[in-house]
Chain A
């Protein structure tokens, strides 16, 4: 049979048979990268990858970055860290979470190592762990994204989380399901801020008002962007992505008047994993992530994160307010993290998962 092949065909066959060797070679090359620092990033890959490359260039330390899927955001990486700890071999050096509560939860489980980064000196104490196991920086706000097409007059814009339960907007507004990520943290924190009774009343109002519960903040943003919903809760980075693509949307920082709870601000959090393979590299990476220049880059990037330090310039987009320009909701990360698993379980049952 072999003699049926022409020389050219034999050449093609040989080249194709060589492919696995090349493939395995490239796999081996990937494995060699494990000499650098291993970073688990829950911040959107689109936003964080360039920053990671910048760190590599500046420090000469290679970074093996692992990102999460949109559907399992945050929880996927937290699960991975927990699984690795259970197996007795942490693979992650640095965990860069795009929200706070799950990081606090990891600290409570004893999976994070203390490190007081000099870069974090100017970050307000309320965003840092007293035992230095995690540090917050560059935050996102939980805002209302509003369709300018469906609500052309700014005077008609919703201004509060209670607008979701207003019959005026019945079936025309949305929020992500509070199963993972910032929405789970938001709901869990709200339960404490509002009190059990008021919170249950509000959640009951959401169901009664036929609020659309979508899978993610990206989904709520798209629903408003495409004119399917008049407004929805989302994060400022998702709002900014829509705005930068020319979508007719506006941003409202909710609950700013009277005794309303204020707008929830959820910082990123960075931490070193206990027993990680490259602790020294991990410290350098944490220092870099917490530096003012990185916070400024995050503010200037598409994710338009809000710097926690007043000295760092905020996002160029004026509708995303700076840290002192709005009233932030006061919430307790430790208490929220304590209640996270109960909330996750309860909402999973409520939402059929």
Chain B
């Protein structure tokens, strides 16, 4: 009985991570003329593949630089200095994470001519900077102020700052890496900007375009080549993740640290205030204001903006997309619970048995979402899968497929976060409970559960928000058709900005529901970024 959660979690990994990716890999060698490595022999031989991969890498590096600049600056100023209103601004730093990147792109594209490489890099950097901000803040909070002061007294301020930089480097690097991984595999925003008029394409766009053209007669090599082309990319990401995990293993996250002494900004105090404002305005303010203006009818020149138009826009959003909203929230909630349920047992294996599980679980993040989703299509829409559906019902066409795809995609967040918590639980506590004769269920409920509950809650919240904003998987999987983010991009393309604005605001309101529920349940105020 006590093996059941572990068995289910391992089965989940095998079925929804290893199998889809394995099928994709197999298809690169199993061509129409039988087994062969023709697709592999021409790895990156096509100049188009090379160009797309180059653009993806350049875009990811540039976006990550922007994310680090914005996110690190925000966290450092709000946690490390005597910035005015730092206590208020700090917790707000996580808010832009609730805004889907496509909304950030839509917001800026409405204001400026955001169509080239630089705007794309800036937009993606803005969208993913909360990862850097959150983890940098966590790193800064984990450093004991007494250690810093001791270093200062012994070796001077410069040495103390160097020591601080070393201590938070792992968290900053982890944040930067997350931003890098998400931007390198991003499909939605570059594709949206293509619609707005850009003439270069990322690797993820290329994979998707080839996949879609399959119907018009694209050859097996055309389909397989971009998948093979992803291998060096995935290898780079896996190595980077490996480095990040090693760094993270050495990070200073134990004990009960005293806060770091605040740096006095002096007369720069109010000038520095502009940075967090820029961070919040870019990631949250612009999208929300533009969506609000759209809902008020800013794009309709036949009548002036008014509250009446706002009312009509929201009514239209409820009437025409109420089902989509319900679908999206239902999928996001189920994803949150599913992710916790699958991650917890895997995290225990990673923490108590082998760290290999940590590395295996980051694979879904190392693979571009678009590719993972294509793997799902190939795997769960196959002839043999369809035979199974005759008995089980049509899994491929059900929202359950979207949920498992999201859980698979976000698995690294769950496993890495929870395994970190499990590692900090003394094994003596578990052994004592076992020696007392308590069964596995009692131990799970009274020992592991309470100790892991806050981390589980965080994982669930993160999964909920990420599922609300996930576009790439929803675009590829037919069952993801009703997802609000997908519908939003269509509505805007078709000139329905008024209703689209209202729908986007509803989506954002759904995303902030989780922190509100969190406050209701715990009775605690949101006091920090993470």
Contacts and interface: CB of A to CB of B under 8 A. Distances in A.
Interface of A: 1-2, 5-6, 8-9, 12-13, 16, 19-20, 22-24, 26-27, 30-31, 34, 44-47, 49, 66-67, 69-72, 75-76, 78-84, 86-89, 91, 102, 105, 179-180, 212-216, 218-219, 221-223, 228, 238, 241-242, 244-247, 340-342, 344-345, 348-349, 351-353
B334 A27 contact: yes
B212 interface: yes
B495 A23 contact: no
B334 A352 contact: no
B330 A245 contact: no
Q: Name which of A212, A245, A342 has the most chain B CB atoms within 10 A of its CB.
A: A245
A213 to B, nearest CB: 7
Contact of A23 (B205, B218, B320, B333): B333
A349 B48 contact: yes
B382 A87 contact: yes
Given A83-B381, A89-B389, A245-B302, A2 B450 contact: yes
Q: Name which of B209, B385, B398, B475 has the most chain A CB atoms within 10 A of its CB.
A: B209
Given A23-B331, A23-B333, A23-B334, 12 more contacts: A12-B520, A20-B333, A20-B337, A20-B338, A71-B195, A75-B212, A75-B213, A79-B214, A218-B195, A247-B301, A352-B51, A353-B205
Contacts of B213: 75, 79, 179, 344-345, 348
A180 B212 contact: yes
A72 B208 contact: yes
Contact of B491 (A20, A45, A81, A247): A45
Interface in B256-313: 299-302
A242 B493 CA distance: 12
Interface string B490-530: 11011110000000000000000000010011110000000
A149 to B, nearest CB: 12
Interface stretch (B93-101, B196-204, B233-241): B196-204
Interface string B328-360: 011101100110000000000000000000000
B399 interface: yes
What 7 pairs between A and B have smallest CB-CB spacing?
A341-B217, A246-B301, A1-B450, A23-B330, A70-B493, A246-B302, A241-B495
Contacts of A76: 212
B327 A26 contact: yes
Contacts of A66: 478, 481
Contact of B493 (A6, A212, A218): A218
B494 A241 contact: yes
B300 A219 contact: no
A71 B194 contact: yes
A31 B398 contact: yes
A345 B385 contact: no
Interface in B381-427: 381-383, 385-386, 389, 393-394, 397-400, 403
B299 A245 contact: yes
B495 A218 contact: yes
Contact of A67 (B191, B397, B398, B490): B490
Contact of B214 (A82, A84, A353): A82
B215 interface: yes
Nearest to B208: A72
Contacts of A91: 394, 397, 478
Contact of A6 (B302, B389, B523): B523
A227 to B, nearest CB: 11
Contact of B520 (A1, A9, A22): A9
Contacts of A238: 495
A2 B442 CA distance: 13
Contacts of A26: 326-327, 330
Contacts of A80: 478
Contact of B215 (A44, A75, A216, A228): A75
A84 B214 CA distance: 13
Nearest to A241: B495
Given A34-B397, A46-B494, A66-B481, A216 B51 contact: no
A152 B195 CA distance: 27
A2 B451 CA distance: 11
A221 B495 CA distance: 10
Nearest to A89: B386
Contacts of A180: 212
Contact of A216 (B48, B329, B493, B522): B493
Interface in B209-234: 209, 211-218, 222
Contacts of A352: 48, 51-52, 199-201
A17 to B, nearest CB: 8
6 contacts: A19-B333, A20-B334, A26-B327, A46-B490, A88-B383, A215-B195
Q: Name which of A47, A87, A348 has the most chain B CB atoms within 10 A of its CB.
A: A87
Contacts of B211: 79
Contacts of A244: 302
B486 interface: yes
A69 B301 contact: no
B216 A341 contact: yes
A273 to B, nearest CB: 13
B212 A79 contact: yes
Contacts of B486: 69
B160 interface: no
B117 to A, nearest CB: 14
B168 to A, nearest CB: 31
Given A247-B301, A352-B199, A215 B194 contact: yes
Interface string B436-476: 00000000001001100100000000000000000000010
B116 to A, nearest CB: 13
Given A9-B522, A20-B337, A218 B217 contact: no
B252 interface: no
Nearest to B218: A345
Contact of B381 (A12, A30, A84, A216): A84
A45 B320 CA distance: 10
B141 interface: no
Contacts of B522: 9
Contact of A27 (B398, B450, B523): B398
Nearest to B454: A1
Contacts of B430: none
A105 B216 contact: yes
B377 interface: yes
Contact of B48 (A8, A22, A27, A353): A353
Nearest to B299: A245
Interface in B154-209: 191, 194-197, 199-201, 205-206, 208-209
A78 B333 contact: no
A247 B301 CA distance: 7
Contacts of B382: 87
Contact of B216 (A30, A78, A228): A78
Contacts of A348: 209, 213
Nearest to A76: B212
A92 B254 CA distance: 56
Given A75-B215, A353-B209, A245 B326 contact: no
